[in-house]
């Protein structure tokens, strides 16, 4: 990945307060943070330290009580909800632990959804969604329903959805939290590949094994940044595609077994 010193996020004295009076609590308590384009940041810390609140605030899903938030050169902290929603749909991609696919939509329709909010016509957005799905070896599953996918496939669909509108930032909240170790490894290899193409990724996780993929590790405690360390990411596996194809074959066999069981009433 080529070096790029462009600042994509700047937070100054960011605070998020919940409750009132004696019950008042700061989930974020004076956070100062600068993020450059192309960084892969992992945020860690104990439960309740503020990491998810920070991610949601950067993603404009939540509003800070105090402080400034500059995203890609625009101060978005005091924008109206409507303008924040517009910025969010144009500049931010989300990957969630629980996938958050819409059950009544097909895979390709789920991936195309962010393009609906950008006003792109149906034919064009389905073309774009199809292109991204093929990059993640999911071309054969474009018209599957979410319930027909394995956990690993579902998360790959979620990553494709996060990338389809070419966002400035990708935010991932425990993206491997509901996956087994093999699927988790493949998902992280996918994210490493996305990062190598110059994308900025900010990820919250409890899993210390995932730190190997980051270029920067931030730990939080009591609503503040405790440590902030830069590092080189681990070398991406050259056998990712081979592992992905093997996993796909296993999943196809499991699907066939389930179909046979259903036919036999087992």
> CA 32 to CA 226: how far, in whole Å?
11
* pLDDT at 258 > cutoff 80: no
> CA 170 to CA 177: how far, in whole Å?
17
- Cβ atoms of 167 and 160 within 8 Å: the answer is no
DSSP H helices, the chain, are 51-58, 81-91, 107-117, 122-135, 151-163, 181-196, 240-264
Supply 251's token pair. Answer: 């999943």
More confident residue, 37 or 98: 37
Q: Is the alpha carbon torsion for 245, 249, 250, 251 positive or negative? A: positive
Q: How confident is the model at residue 173 (pLDDT cuts 50, 70, 90)?
A: very high
Q: What percent of the chain has pLDDT over 70?
A: 87
Closest Cα to residue 164, out of 99, 118, 105, 100? 118
Q: How confident is the model at residue 2 (pLDDT cuts 50, 70, 90)?
A: very low
pLDDT reported for residue 245: 61
Contacts (Cβ under 8 Å, ≥6 apart) of 185: 243
Supply 29's token pair. Answer: 């308590």
More confident residue, 150 or 259: 150
* pLDDT at 213 > cutoff 60: yes
* pLDDT at 179 > cutoff 90: no
3-state DSSP: the chain helix, strand, coil percent, rounded to 5?
A: 40, 25, 35
- Indicate the Cα dihedral angle 30, 31, 33, 38, nearest 10°: -160
DSSP 64: -
pLDDT reported for residue 186: 87
pLDDT reported for residue 257: 60
Report, as an integer, the average pLDDT of 235-251: 59
> CA 180 to CA 177: how far, in whole Å?
8
**pLDDT digit string, tens, across residues 28-63:** 999 999 999 999 999 999 999 999 999 999 999 999
- Cβ atoms of 79 and 87 within 8 Å: the answer is yes
* pLDDT at 211 > cutoff 60: yes
pLDDT reported for residue 31: 97
73: left (phi over 0), alpha (psi -120 to 50) or beta: left
DSSP H helices, 14-137, are 51-58, 81-91, 107-117, 122-135
pLDDT reported for residue 1: 45
pLDDT reported for residue 203: 97
> CA 60 to CA 56: how far, in whole Å?
6
Report, as an integer, the average pLDDT of 13-33: 89
**pLDDT digit string, tens, across residues 66-82:** 999 999 999 999 899 99
Highest averaged pLDDT of the listed ranges 4-18, 56-70, 83-97, 167-181: 56-70
């Amino acid at each position: 990945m080529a070096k790029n010193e462009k600042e994509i996020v700047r937070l100054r004295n960011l605070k998020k307060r919940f409750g009132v009076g004696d019950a008042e609590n700061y989930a974020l308590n004076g956070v100062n943070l600068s993020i450059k384009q192309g960084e892969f940041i992992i945020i860690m810390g104990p439960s309740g330290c503020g990491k998810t609140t920070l991610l949601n605030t950067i993603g404009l899903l939540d509003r800070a009580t105090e402080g400034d938030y500059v995203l890609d050169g625009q101060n978005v902290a005091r924008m109206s909800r409507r303008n924040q929603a517009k910025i969010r749909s144009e500049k931010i991609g989300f990957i969630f632990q629980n996938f958050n696919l819409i059950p009544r939509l097909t895979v390709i329709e789920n991936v195309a959804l962010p393009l609906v909010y950008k006003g792109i016509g149906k034919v064009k957005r389905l073309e774009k969604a199809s292109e991204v799905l093929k990059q993640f070896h999911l071309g054969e599953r474009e018209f599957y329903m979410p319930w027909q996918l394995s956990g690993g496939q579902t998360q790959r669909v979620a990553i494709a959805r996060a990338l389809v509108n070419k966002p400035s930032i990708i935010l991932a909240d425990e993206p491997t939290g509901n996956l087994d170790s093999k699927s988790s490894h493949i998902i992280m290899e996918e994210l490493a590949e996305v990062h190598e193409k110059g994308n900025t990724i900010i990820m919250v996780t409890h899993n210390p094994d995932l730190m190997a993929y980051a270029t920067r590790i931030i730990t939080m405690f009591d609503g503040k940044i405790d440590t902030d360390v830069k590092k080189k990411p681990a070398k991406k596996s050259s056998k990712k595609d081979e592992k992905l194809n093997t996993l796909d074959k296993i999943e196809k066999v499991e699907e066939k077994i389930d179909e046979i069981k259903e036919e036999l009433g087992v």
